[in-house]
Copies of this chain bind each other. A is one copy, B any other.
Amino acid sequence: MYKIGVIGLGLIGGSMAIDLKRRKFADRIFGVEAEPVNAAAALKMGIADEITDLETCVGNSDIVIIAIPAEPALKVLQQVLDHMEAGTGKVVMDVCSTKEMLAKNVHYHPMRKRYVATHPMAGTEYSGPWAAMPGLFDGRACIISDSVESDPKAVRLVEELYLTLNMRTIYMNSSNHDVHAAYVSHISHITSFALALTVLEKEKNEKHIFDLASGGFSSTVRLAKSNPDMWTPIFSQNRDNILQVMDTYMEKIKSFRDAIADYDESRIRSLIEEANRIKKIIV
């Protein structure tokens, strides 16, 4: 069993801590948490065994998991690598939704090989240690990016960790990761945020509009509850890919708008039929 450091005891870090301990991969969790309330709650909920500062966490842990938003992660990853000593077997991994900027940032760090870049594709729209849950990662995909830049033994240890979490590992470079993530994750958050803003604006004058909201609306707008601390740096760090996806998306919206404006039912129908192809792909 390993000693695991978890920097950021939120939804992702907390859920990892729970399953790694339950499944006997970890025997002790050292938590680092900037928010005192979250730290106290994580201790009380048994997510972490103790709360430490960053240096102590790195000193005590075999594997350090950085599970904080992508902006502070840039600095914290450097600090963790700075605290590692030559010849160490320790490994640091992050779980951020953007990978390229983080990769560039430590590319020349002398301890770069101790770092394994990962993105477990799982989550909910909630955050904080109270959102953590067992089984969050079971059966989902996890991307390991730029694995050639890491020590093979470090990669194997991280693979073992994700095997414990029942995740399928997929390998790609950080630049490809960021393109893919823009399509299958980042854009759907933007469409949800924009949908929420649209309906909330109307609601200012129509107090009862949400009495009517159906399950379909709730499902589509669910991601609009997501945390700004997490999503602001993602949109910023993955700017170029997201702008490209947004431009395609706006063209598709525009196609619908034109077809509807023209009462062009055959065009509306063919757009819907084309979109229906998603049935073969998403269960």
Contact = CB atoms under 8 A, between A and B. Distances in A.
Interface of A: 121-125, 140-141, 143, 168, 170, 180-181, 183-185, 187-203, 206, 208-226, 228, 231-233, 235-236, 239, 242-243, 245-246, 248-250, 252-257, 259-261, 263, 265, 268-269, 271-279, 281-283
10 contacts: A124-B215, A183-B199, A185-B214, A196-B278, A198-B245, A210-B282, A220-B220, A224-B278, A235-B256, A246-B253
A45 to B, nearest CB: 22
Contacts of A193: 252, 256, 271-272, 275
A239 B214 contact: no
A271 B268 CA distance: 31
B200 A278 contact: yes
B197 A252 contact: yes
Contacts of A250: 250, 253-254, 257
Main secondary structure of the interface of A (DSSP, over half): helix
A235 B260 contact: yes
Contacts of A180: 206, 209, 212
A168 B275 CA distance: 33
A260 B239 contact: yes
A224 B275 contact: yes
A184 B217 contact: yes
A111 to B, nearest CB: 29
A67 to B, nearest CB: 16
Counting chain B CB atoms within 10 Å of each CB, the highest count among A121, A220, A236, A257 belongs to A220
Given A196-B278, A272-B193, A188 B206 contact: no
A168 B213 CA distance: 13
A184 B198 contact: no
B217 A220 contact: no
Contact of A272 (B185, B232, B256): B232
A216 B223 contact: yes
Given A122-B215, A198-B245, 19 more contacts: A141-B211, A170-B212, A188-B216, A188-B217, A192-B275, A193-B256, A210-B282, A220-B220, A224-B275, A225-B276, A225-B278, A228-B276, A231-B268, A232-B268, A236-B260, A236-B265, A239-B261, A246-B260, A250-B254
Q: Can you list the 9 inter-chain pairs with the closest CB atoms, starting with the nearest?
A: A194-B252, A188-B220, A228-B272, A193-B275, A196-B275, A196-B278, A197-B252, A121-B214, A198-B249
